[in-house]
Structure 1
Amino acid sequence: MAKVYRGYDLTLGREVAIKVLDPELARDTAFRNRFRLEAQAASRMSHPSIVRVFDAGDPSTSEIGSDEPPYIVMELVKGTLLKDIISAGPVPVADAVRYVDGILEALDYSHRAGVVHRDIKPGNVMVTDKGQVKVMDFGIARAVSDSSSTVAETTQIIGTAAYFSPEQAKGEPVDARADLYSTGVVLYELLTGRQPFRGESPVAVAYQHVSETPVPPTEVNEEAPRTLDPIVLRALAKDPYQRYPDAAHFRAALDSAMTGNAPTRKELGALTSELYGASPRQAQETARSLRQLSTDTTMTRTQSGPPVAWIWAGVALLAVLLASVLFWVVTISMRPPEVSSSSRIIPNLVNVSSERAQDDLAGLDLSSKIVIETSSEVAEGNVIRTDPEAGVSVEEGSTVTLYVSAGEETVVMPKIEGMALGDATNALKAAGLELGTVIQRNDKALAANTVISASEKAETELDPGTVINLVVASGKVTLTDLVGWTVDAATTNLGDLGLVAVPAETAECPATQPATVHSMSVAPGDVPVGSSVQIFFCTG
């Protein structure tokens, strides 16, 4: 979809990679706009495991105008594509886990920034000469897919279907869990040397992603550790809600699996049944066998059947018996019940107002007793049920209990914004609500684990057990790369982020005027609020 050139940034004095988009794609105005927005979103991410986007341009939007295609300027990474590492031969388990952990670290950061990759595959992951994992092309998959007019065009542009999530294959909206599915496919390929689903066409592979059960990695490669089988199966769940909720949970499970005990075959079978159904493969084999039997004309009977006259006689006898039983049941049901003059039949009072129900019972010389219950199905003030039930015969003067609805039971959402996560959890539990997903967000003004917002507003009436998702402060801020900035501008930027700037001289390089930042004591990325950052400027 693009050509990549190595370039040199004259202003900041560094090598860069320049990706120039294919002219066919560039002719689509919608794609240009979407690509520009996604490039802006990707440029705001600064993480060691993500290939940085420094700049993006679209000559058609300039004052003079141009037919040149859009381009993006990125960090130049020297290393090897993960795709080439896999094709070179078996990957050691420790390296496979390290590569996937690096991918998940990048996804954890990007998902918290609100950016979904949509095209995680070995061709978009690079391993540097020092062994660091770098994930590329954030946002480009969305720019392409949202601007493509047909499924075939989208598939052709984005690449192989071997790493699609089921929701991508079905054309449904995707979220961060689609990236986790694709990462699970990459982990499977690293452990076994092949993808979990293969076919003669992309459509065949996409169908398998939607409906087929993957074979555990250890059944393909006996040398793969059994402790990773549950991790892979959970990541490849068809239902996004059965996968790991986020990349952090995936990383934690991967880390604990490397030090935990291997699951038994029974435990692995139970997990497969939970995620993919009882036995979809066995069901498919049975259906295939039945189809073959139904169409096989070469099979001949080897045992004679019973005489035809006996068969028809049995059918006739069975029909007479069924007709006789049906006639007897209808006759019994139509016979009027024998009741004494002092007996009363309880009428059907369900969903009748309590006042009318009491009047109806009083007209039958029966007394009533009211019991209040909550109900989500019967309107407030109406009868839920009676004791005895409708149709039961009771003596005159008997008491009938009326269970009357008090309406649906609700609880009130407490105000938890600004509370610590532990206190907010206790408040939700005390209110009868469930804590759902907790997403961390950088906020320089709030301490770590302080609740920023909740999925439901305070004082809202909710059903008991409603799941409440929270956004809490991470206690960190994102430090950008300040190399090349003036010392004054860098100091101001660090102060705005809630960080302490500590200028320091270094005579290892020629002095500049004004003084510019040569290096930093802290690498770009998320750092705790209030941290001190040394910014070195040249005095040589």
Structure 2
Amino acid sequence: MSTEPRVIAGRYRVDELIGHGGMAKVYRGYDLTLGREVAIKILDRELARDTAFRTRFRLEAQAASRMSHPSIVRVYDAGDPSAIDSSSDEPPYIVMELVKGTLLKDIIAAGPVPVADAVRYVDGILEALDYSHRAGVVHRDIKPGNVMVTDKGQVKVMDFGIARAVSDSSSTVAETTQIIGTAAYFSPEQAKGEPVDARADLYSTGVVLYELLTGRQPFRGESPVAVAYQHVSETPVPPTEVNEDAPGALDPIVLRALAKDPYQRYPDAAHFRAALDAAVTGNAPTRKQLGALTSELYGPSPRQAQETARSLRQLSTDTTMTRTQSGPPVAWIWAGVALLAVLLASVVFWVFTISMRPPEVPNSARIMPDLVNVSSERALDDLAKLDMTAKVVIESSTDIAEGNVISTDPEAGVSVEEGSTVTLHVSSGEETVVMPKIEGMSLDAATNALKSAGLSLGTVIPRNDKGLAANTVISASEDADAELAPGTVVNLVVASGKVTLTNLVGWTVDAASTNLSDLGLTPVPVEQGDCPATEPPTVHSMSSAPGDVPVGTSVELRYCTGE
């Protein structure tokens, strides 16, 4: 006994399960309105019971749907049945581009990844992040499980915006990692529960690059909390110490991306890409250069600290060693003097700063800067420096360039308390819609599809075509899946349901019959005995005049058989 297929929102048919994760299941689906295959992600019912999460999820999914880039899995639609019917317990869903390929995590699990492929995969991730960050969207959950490599080798990053909705609903690291996956790709600021910006995505990308080069993540532990602690406090081992076949030129790239301090990482995805490209053709650093970089980014390594502690213990317990110097080493004395000098200078600077602070401005207050028409990346940096948290809302705008701030809430010049949340309204440029595939549809169905997509029907041009029924769409003035401005006029060429009949008088009956059959018409030879016969028989007259006639019309071919 067959069951009726499940249909969401009256237009998305849910087919077989093709994947699942900690927070959702993904099904192959079909958009009945636009006539195309899609992927449908349906959220876990337990997670969806949180009303606040539903709201955040819907807003973030809508923001992600405004992004259109070859390296980003396109979000076509998102919905929450409970927003329409409060009695509904159906979970929220996302309708996405159906990508045929392999998850990057499965590629890594299959065995060593060639260096050229590893660099290409990471470059594709950074290309997607460069676009999303300029649009003001931080992914927050970059990991191999969210990266798809198509059958043609194209890198596609998915689940933009979803991680924010999930992480905002979770109060602890353990709670968050249970929902959105492993902590192996967390940035230190995420592990500490601090506000994050685009540089958190660059850290996670650095972890992915590390794993591609070595076959494992830089930090591993028995629990997410243990791994998160290592992200905050431990120094990563350079990839070449784990895999000697990894190119040494990539060691500095990985270490820079994995810096604990966001300000010591690459400032943006474009700089990360440029450094990666330069390293592929560059020389490997010397051991001294790599050690200097490690000290700059991480300070003394834990291994060095352990060796120092071991040496001190040995000095304190080994009775066979005799002291050859009556006091501390001279270097230690100067180091102590230098330390005291630095501490004294710091205290003086702190006192001076406190004394120069205007008395009317509270210590915890900040003045909201003017960020209108500033790039979202710079705006996020400026707010982070002021200890403010940013909430990004993507909106279309004809006046403000894509990726720039349209407005802020609160406005510029307002006094804001430290740690406050500022809403950044960021431009996605002019709003676009997707041209549906309408070739082969009836004119009525095509008109409805254009209307549903936010487009307008223009001129309808009839064209004779014997193989198509009347009013079948032959072609459109815009290509399917093209990004168009809402309201764009689309002209159509449709089958007229007719063919052009030529004058067949004087033709042989056989030739005229063949011509009519080729046109999709039915020849009907008719003898006439009141006129002289010809050899071979030729058409004397026709029942239909030359011109356009409906396909399938019967045409009499009259020929003479008399004396």
| TM-score, scaled to structure 1 | 0.61
Q: Give the corresponding residue for 1:38.
A: 60
Amino acid at match of 2:290: L
- Equivalent residues of 2:135, 2:426 under 8 A apart: no
Distance, in Å, in 2 between the alignment partners of 1:502 and 1:263 is 65
- Equivalent residues of 1:47, 1:524 under 8 A apart: no
2:122 to 97, 100, 122: 100
Residues 464-483 of structure 1 show CA distances to partners (whole Å, capped at 9, x for unaligned) of xxxxxxx9999x86765323
Q: Give the corresponding residue for 1:81.
A: 103
Residues 478-527 of structure 1 show CA distances to partners (whole Å, capped at 9, x for unaligned) of 76532358699899979xxxxxx9999999999968998585399659xx
1:520 to 479, 483, 488: 479
Q: In 2 relative to 1, CA 515–228 (structure 1 residues): closer, same or farther, beyond 3 Å? A: same
SS of the aligned residue for 1:174 comes to: coil
Residues 146-183 of structure 1 show CA distances to partners (whole Å, capped at 9, x for unaligned) of 11244322121111111010011111111110000000
- Equivalent residues of 1:482, 1:490 under 8 A apart: no
Amino acid at match of 1:233: L
Q: Give the corresponding residue for 1:428.
A: none
Aligned: 1:172 with 2:131: no
Distance, in Å, in 2 between the alignment partners of 1:417 and 1:117 is 23
SS of the aligned residue for 2:434 comes to: coil
Q: Give the corresponding residue for 1:252.
A: 274
- Equivalent residues of 2:53, 2:165 under 8 A apart: yes
Segments of structure 1 that go 5 or more residues without pairing to the other structure are: 306-374, 380-414, 420-440, 460-470, 495-500
Distance, in Å, in 2 between the alignment partners of 1:191 and 1:288 is 33
Aligned: 1:481 with 2:434: yes
SS of the aligned residue for 1:54 comes to: strand
Q: In 2 relative to 1, CA 205–19 (structure 1 residues): closer, same or farther, beyond 3 Å? A: same
Q: Give the corresponding residue for 1:198.
A: 220
Percent identity between the two aligned chains? 75
SS of the aligned residue for 2:216 comes to: coil
Aligned: 1:211 with 2:233: yes
Distance, in Å, in 1 between the alignment partners of 2:285 and 2:461 is 54
Aligned: 1:90 with 2:49: no
SS of the aligned residue for 1:251 comes to: helix
- Equivalent residues of 2:460, 2:493 under 8 A apart: no
- Equivalent residues of 2:473, 2:493 under 8 A apart: no
Amino acid at match of 2:250: L
Q: Displacement of 1:113 after TM fit? A: 1.3
Q: Give the corresponding residue for 1:160.
A: 182
Q: Give the corresponding residue for 1:438.
A: none
Range 186-195 or range 202-211, more displaced: 202-211
Distance, in Å, in 1 between the alignment partners of 2:412 and 2:48 is 47
Amino acid at match of 1:268: L
Q: Displacement of 1:106 after TM fit? A: 0.8
Residues 295-350 of structure 1 show CA distances to partners (whole Å, capped at 9, x for unaligned) of xxxx7855899xxxxxxxxxxxxxxxxxxxxxxxxxxxxxxxxxxxxxxxxxxxxx
- Equivalent residues of 1:510, 1:539 under 8 A apart: no
Distance, in Å, in 2 between the alignment partners of 1:34 and 1:417 is 24
Distance, in Å, in 1 between the alignment partners of 2:354 and 2:89 is 64
Matches within 5 A, 1:399-418: none
Amino acid at match of 2:479: M
SS of the aligned residue for 1:172 comes to: coil
SS of the aligned residue for 2:88 comes to: coil
SS of the aligned residue for 1:147 comes to: coil
Aligned: 1:264 with 2:223: no
Matches within 5 A, 1:218-229: 218-229=240-251
1:47 to 69, 74, 83: 69
Amino acid at match of 2:261: D
Segments of structure 2 that go 5 or more residues without pairing to the other structure are: 1-22, 324-351, 357-369, 375-394, 414-424, 438-445, 496-563
Q: In 2 relative to 1, CA 151–505 (structure 1 residues): closer, same or farther, beyond 3 Å? A: farther
- Equivalent residues of 2:174, 2:225 under 8 A apart: no
Distance, in Å, in 2 between the alignment partners of 1:52 and 1:448 is 17
Q: In 2 relative to 1, CA 259–490 (structure 1 residues): closer, same or farther, beyond 3 Å? A: farther
Q: In 2 relative to 1, CA 272–536 (structure 1 residues): closer, same or farther, beyond 3 Å? A: farther
Amino acid at match of 1:520: D
Distance, in Å, in 2 between the alignment partners of 1:517 and 1:301 is 93
Q: In 2 relative to 1, CA 443–502 (structure 1 residues): closer, same or farther, beyond 3 Å? A: farther
Aligned: 1:185 with 2:207: yes
Q: Give the corresponding residue for 2:40.
A: 18
Paired residue total: 396
Q: In 2 relative to 1, CA 30–521 (structure 1 residues): closer, same or farther, beyond 3 Å? A: closer
| TM-score, scaled to structure 2 | 0.59
Residues 119-147 of structure 1 show CA distances to partners (whole Å, capped at 9, x for unaligned) of 10001101011111111111111111111
- Equivalent residues of 2:184, 2:228 under 8 A apart: yes
Q: Give the corresponding residue for 2:168.
A: 146
Aligned: 1:276 with 2:298: yes
Matches within 5 A, 1:252-401: 252-287=274-309, 301=319
Q: Displacement of 1:200 after TM fit? A: 2.1
Distance, in Å, in 2 between the alignment partners of 1:502 and 1:247 is 45
- Equivalent residues of 2:147, 2:158 under 8 A apart: yes
Q: Give the corresponding residue for 2:24.
A: 2
- Equivalent residues of 1:212, 1:281 under 8 A apart: no
Q: Give the corresponding residue for 2:264.
A: 242
Q: Displacement of 1:286 after TM fit? A: 2.6
2:90 to 55, 68, 77: 68
Residues 95-126 of structure 1 show CA distances to partners (whole Å, capped at 9, x for unaligned) of 11111111111111111111111110001101
SS of the aligned residue for 1:227 comes to: helix
Distance, in Å, in 2 between the alignment partners of 1:443 and 1:13 is 30
Aligned-residue Cα RMSD (Å) equals 4.8
Distance, in Å, in 1 between the alignment partners of 2:371 and 2:250 is 38
- Equivalent residues of 2:433, 2:453 under 8 A apart: no
